[in-house]
Amino acid sequence: MPELPEVETVRAGLARRVLGRTVAEVEVRHPRATRRQPGGAAELAARLRGRTFTAAVRRGKYLWLTVGEDDDGRSQTPPSEALLAHLGMSGQMLVQEPEGARRAESETVAVGEHLAPAGERHLDLTATLPPTLVRDVPATTAHLRVRLAFTDGGELWFVDQRTFGHLMAVDTVPTGDGAPGGYGSDAAVLPEPVAHIARDLLDPALDRADLVRRTRARRTEVKRALLDQSLVSGVGNIYADEALWRARLHGTRRTDLLRPAQLRDLFDAATEVMTEALAAGGTSFDALYVDVDGAAGYFARSLAVYGRVGRPCPRCGATLRREEFMNRSSFSCPRCQRRPPVRA
């Protein structure tokens, strides 16, 4: 499931592969992919055709490509429009290069495949992912939802099996605080639909003391707060569980009853686990297959509790448990993460 580290991996790939390229044609192959686009698929195509991508930016799990030049090639500062993307649970951005161009070895390549540091040759995905994941890197159009053709013959594909992700071409609005709207651009703007999304834990402009204050002002369970993108963005179910385990907190602890130091530790833990995952190129592009095929070795490098029910806690050895929470699964250690007493 794409959370912040996975989305950042994709953003960095887009920054390398599609900036400076001009959209020639847009094909929407599944209406759900543009369900949030005012005016639908036709509007998306009309707003992108002839436009050039100028920056790849991310806030939390949202990423966008600014279209900073108009049809006459005049640059707009700050960028006033963007192609906004959310990958949902299974979304991928794939770049298809024209025959014989740029990458001699190129076929369809996941934008997040760049596990090698910038400047080095892209790693071959088939050599870095377990077989179960390699199978999921498609040269197929089975789940191709939107196809952007560039004027140079290349293409950008939005592939999304479960159709929770979406694309939309929208106007940008000022951030309000003058700080950059997201990672990847200095422009103090962000797409209008993202205006309510809080800054994420890797954002230098995030006020962490204020985050602790706002979290304690909530009267809710701490895992629910971690997943609330309007409080702090980028954290999904996987890294929420990992952060809670590192901070030794059960997800049902009340935010208003936690000490500031406990919340600071929790946010530090979330920052830490996502930073580590980012360094590894993201946990996975589709965790689904890990459960199904048991490719635990890949996950085990960075995940202590998620998906590991019945296994020993890496810290104390107690048997990890799975609980229902918000219609989701939560994984935790019964010894390190005591459930709070049920209050009347």
Contacts to DNA by CB under 7 A: 1, 3, 32, 60-62, 86, 88-89, 142-143, 161-164, 193, 196, 218-221, 224, 227, 229, 236-238, 288, 291-293, 322, 326-329
Phi/psi of residue 253, nearest 5 degrees = -60, 140
165 vs 231: CA distance, rounded Å: 21
173 vs 68: CA distance, rounded Å: 14
- Least distance (Å) between residue 104 CB and DNA: 31
92 vs 332: CA distance, rounded Å: 29
61 part of the active site: yes
Confirm or deny that 16 is annotated as ligand binding: no
What is the token pair recorded at 221?
């369970």
Q: Which is nearer to DNA, 155 or 242 (CB)?
A: 242
Q: Which is nearer to DNA, 34 or 52 (CB)?
A: 34
User: Which of these is catalytic: 3, 6, 69, 81?
Assistant: 3
User: Which of these is catalytic: 47, 61, 216, 253?
Assistant: 61
What is the token pair recorded at 339?
């459930």
Q: Which is nearer to DNA, 6 or 69 (CB)?
A: 6
- Least distance (Å) between residue 144 CB and DNA: 11
- Least distance (Å) between residue 13 CB and DNA: 19
Confirm or deny that 253 is annotated as ligand binding: no
Confirm or deny that 196 is annotated as ligand binding: no
Produce one character per residue of 189-210: b if its CB has 16 or more CB atoms within 10 Å, e if not: bbbebbeebbbbbbbeebeeee
Specify the DSSP class assigned to residue 124: P
Specify the DSSP class assigned to residue 276: H
- Least distance (Å) between residue 344 CB and DNA: 14
Q: Which is nearer to DNA, 97 or 221 (CB)?
A: 221
Query: Whose structure tokens read 């071409």?
Result: 169
112 vs 144: CA distance, rounded Å: 17
- Least distance (Å) between residue 234 CB and DNA: 8
Q: Which is nearer to DNA, 236 or 281 (CB)?
A: 236
Q: Which is nearer to DNA, 185 or 252 (CB)?
A: 252
Least Cα distance to 258 among 220, 295, 287, 300 occurs for 220
Quick check: 84 and 168 in contact, CB under 8 A?
yes
Helix (H, G, I), strand (E, B) or coil at 81: strand
Q: For residue 235, with 0-12 CB atoms within 10 Å meaning exposed, 13-18 middle and 19 or more buried, which class applies? A: buried
328 part of the active site: yes
Q: List, as own/partner pairs, every contact residues 292-297 make where C-beta atoms lie below 8 angstroms and the sequence separation is at least 24, other chains included.
A: 292/132, 293/130, 293/132, 295/130, 295/131, 295/132, 295/133, 297/130
- Least distance (Å) between residue 295 CB and DNA: 11
Q: Which residues are annotated as a binding site?
A: 143, 162, 218
Q: Which residues are annotated as a binding site for DNA?
A: 143, 162, 218
- Catalytic machinery residues: 2-3, 61, 328
